[in-house]
Amino acid sequence: MEYENVYMLGIGGIGMSALARFFLHEGKRVAGYDRTPSPLTAALEAEGAAIHYTDDVTCIPAGFRDRERTLAVYTPAVHDDHSELTWLREQGFRVIKRSQMLGILAEGKYVMAVAGTHGKTTTTTLVAWLNSRMADGSAFLGGISRNFGSNLVLGGGRRLAVEADEFDRSFLRLHPDVAVVTSADADHLDIYGTHAAVREAFAQFVRQIRPGGDLVIRQGVDIALDNPAIGVWRYAYDEPCDFYARNIRLTANGHYRFDLVVPDGVIADCTLGVPGWVNIENAVAAVATLWCAARREARPLDGERLREAMASFEGVKRRFEFYVNTPRQVYMDDYAHHPRELAAALSSLRGMFPGRRITAIFQPHLYTRTRDLYREFASSLSLADEVVLVPIYPAREEPIEGVTSELIGGLLTVPWRLADREELAGVVAAMETDVVVSFGAGNIDACCGALAEALRRKA
């Protein structure tokens, strides 16, 4: 890339921060803006990025004001009327979206792209981890991998694992060699308008798989499959199809052991290093992806190395992340923010802790998502025994009249209460609790330390 400098608007986002790390590794000078400081921005500053938190053109470092030497990259979460974005465009800088940059970096690579309205971050991270133990390659992840300690993986091989985000139709910048579709549920309706439009975007993503490539799609996902130049493979948790798990049994530590069926055989006695039945399904998708890559290279999967890699997988920050796990108190945190994710996580917890009382804490993410899916949220959260709702995290949105967390609460079939985020630890400490789980994609994770401390005292 001919530019010396990269200026990033929304640099603290999980996807943008991975790009920032990549450019720093490549020896570029990196600076940027974000709304608020976070652990991600603190890490980037420690790695050499210059970051400010006020939307003010005068805060752009002097060295980044030269349009001949500076490339500007922004996330679609930044509004078009953002003053710095407006100035960069008016001054003639090359300004591109994150998704376009990712597409550029993917050129010349064997791209393994994971898409879906939920499940994609863990599945992408599994693909990256299994690939690193069995072959080589790089990855741009949508979460912080516990194994890599980062959302960026740099390797020497041609394979590239990427999380393909449907927000703002970003994934349509990619032309993968093998694509995974974990789900195509109604989400981001503020952008798409209808569920039919969401499904059509996923169908277009499938059309962009390169000729001779492969699609790995979860059994039951309803999208048009009209790309005749690719192979189509179905996967499931335990439903017989091309790739699935069988002989699934729960181990003493709450993890699962299973046999993994692939088209040319069975990989027996696999154990995944993280709990939850939904992660077995994610692992099946990841193995299917690696199987397609190995098939393209005319070499079989090494079953023993695959077993070792799955057993050593440590998961993703904020995905089934345990803070307290004692016989008297359990507390875990999860990023789930879609009704299907909540239902999968709560049913997994029922399997891990049979007969125990589950308290779910939920911070809805976005007013539009709450407005569109509050009935589905109530249905999923009613799988818990008790619910604590936190006010909606707005992210990029302005409030919508009448849309509050109480919309969900009014339809819950289990006891519930509302608590501000600042008082959450005290509220939960005063409750009768057994297994507690916090959910949300906003800033509820800032409460995890205080919640864990309160529940450890009770234990």
Rounded to whole angstroms, the Cα distance separating 261 from 282 reads: 14
* C-beta separation of 255 from 265 below 8 A: no
What tens digit of pLDDT does each residue of 163-202 get? Answer: 998 877 888 889 999 999 999 887 777 778 898 999 999 9
Rounded to whole angstroms, the Cα distance separating 58 from 64 reads: 11
What tens digit of pLDDT does each residue of 412-455 get? Answer: 999 999 999 999 999 999 999 999 999 998 889 889 999 999 99
* pLDDT-derived band at 299, boundaries 50, 70, 90: confident
Average pLDDT, integer, range 341-357: 88
* C-beta separation of 368 from 190 below 8 A: yes
Question: Between the CA of residue 196 and those of 184, 199, 201, 203, what are the distances in Å?
Answer: 10, 5, 9, 10
Say which CATH class 5-99 falls into: alpha beta
Give yes or no on whether 5-99 and 321-458 have one common fold. Answer: no
| Residue 161: Cβ within 10 Å count | 33
Residue 415 DSSP SS3: coil
Spans of all domains in the chain: 5-99, 108-311, 321-458
pLDDT of residue 113: 96
Rounded to whole angstroms, the Cα distance separating 151 from 10 reads: 16
Q: Is 323 a residue whose pLDDT tops 80?
A: yes
On whether the pTM is more than 0.85, the answer is no
Mean pLDDT over all residues of the chain?
91
What tens digit of pLDDT does each residue of 250-260 get? Answer: 887 778 899 99
What tens digit of pLDDT does each residue of 8-20 get? Answer: 999 998 889 999 9
Question: Between the CA of residue 116 and those of 202, 223, 234, 281, what are the distances in Å?
Answer: 8, 12, 14, 13
What tens digit of pLDDT does each residue of 26-75 get? Answer: 899 999 999 888 888 999 999 999 999 999 999 999 999 999 999 999 99
- Does domain 108-311 fall under CATH 3.40.1190.10? My reply is yes
Rounded to whole angstroms, the Cα distance separating 105 from 173 reads: 11
pLDDT of residue 1: 64
Architecture of domain 321-458: Alpha-Beta Complex (3.90)
